Structure 1
Amino acid sequence: MARKATKAADNIYYKARIEAAATNDKLNSREGAAEIIGIDRTRLARIELDSICAYPEEVLMMADIYNSPELENYFCCEQCPIGKYTVPQLKVLGIDRATIQVLASLKNIDDVRRDLLDITSDGVITEDEKPKLKSIIKTLDEISINSQELKLCIQKNLK
């Protein structure tokens, strides 16, 4: 078994590779992982040491090979110049916790639906309706994040 890379110990790509090595011994070494991913060993080392940023194609390969769909979210919200401002960071939760969060965020959906219809039915958003609309957006964001976290959990457990 390969020794642990202390400089890369906090790197998400390294952690995902080591976790995946529990089911694929070839992933214990950067050489083996790089061969499977289809990149140079030194490039993988530099990605795991945060010296360079992975290309999106490499992240997709690692996410698939390591069974770590959370790598895609990490790349988008932490390393992509556009995603940093638009993609929320997701947590990898247990399926029970993720399900409860989705259901909890949906509990007020009837109120949101009613308020949204009231606000938008006349085609004009007035100043006094804007605070309520901001509250609706906050609720919709919560539902979106919770459903994405559940989807991430399910993807991780399907493989």
Structure 2
Amino acid sequence: MGKKSIKENKNIYQQARDEIEMTRAAVEDATGGILTSSRVEKIENGSLNAHPEDVILMAEVYNKPELCNYFCTNECQIGKKYVPEVETIHDLPQITMELLSNLNALNHDKERIIDITADGQISADEREDFELFREHLSEMSLAIETLKLWVDKELA
């Protein structure tokens, strides 16, 4: 049996493993040796950057799909720009209410977007409304990503 870590400032990967009280050796066993205990240790102590395939395995073994979102939004240059960061996975009623609220905002924006895009150009005075629409799309994207993570976690 491995020793319990007393290290402070654990990274998200070690925190996730510690939460389920799994040793690095058990992670290696659970992944059929694909993710070795030494690799897990190096990822956790920061001497090795996790690869996407490492994070996918850890997310599956730990039942923490949010690790994938963390990786994409913090360690991947493309994800940093295009993937919304889910900081907290709320319970289903709250996620649903956020989703419905965002749908209402987008529905409200619909008529204005039609007016703006009807002539095929966005004039200077229309840019502010279009930026607001883009902000609402980002909020909707975050709500959708949160719901997807909640479903992944619950159906695992």
Matched letter for residue 27 of structure 2: A
User: Normalized against structure 1, the TM-score is what?
Assistant: 0.87
Counterparts in 2 of 1:110 and 1:40: CA distance versus 1, 3 Å: closer
1:1-25 residue CA offsets vs partner (Å, 9 max, x unmatched)? 644313266321122223344xxxx
User: Normalized against structure 2, the TM-score is what?
Assistant: 0.88
Question: Which of 37-46 and 79-88 deviates more?
Answer: 79-88
In the TM superposition, 1:4-153 aligns within 5 A as 4-7=4-7, 10-21=10-21, 28-37=22-31, 38-91=34-87, 92-153=89-150
- What is the aligned-residue RMSD (CA, Å)? 1.8
State percent identity of aligned pairs. 35
Counterparts in 2 of 1:52 and 1:2: CA distance versus 1, 3 Å: same
- Structure 1 residue ranges (4+ consecutive) displaced by more than 6 angstroms after TM superposition: none
CA distance in structure 2 between the aligned counterparts of 1:5 and 1:11, rounded to whole angstroms: 12
1:7-44 residue CA offsets vs partner (Å, 9 max, x unmatched)? 266321122223344xxxxxx21111123222221110
Aligned partner of 1:24 in structure 2 is none
Give ranges in structure 1 of 5+ residues lacking alignment: 22-27
* Number of aligned positions between the proteins: 153
Aligned partner of 1:157 in structure 2 is 154
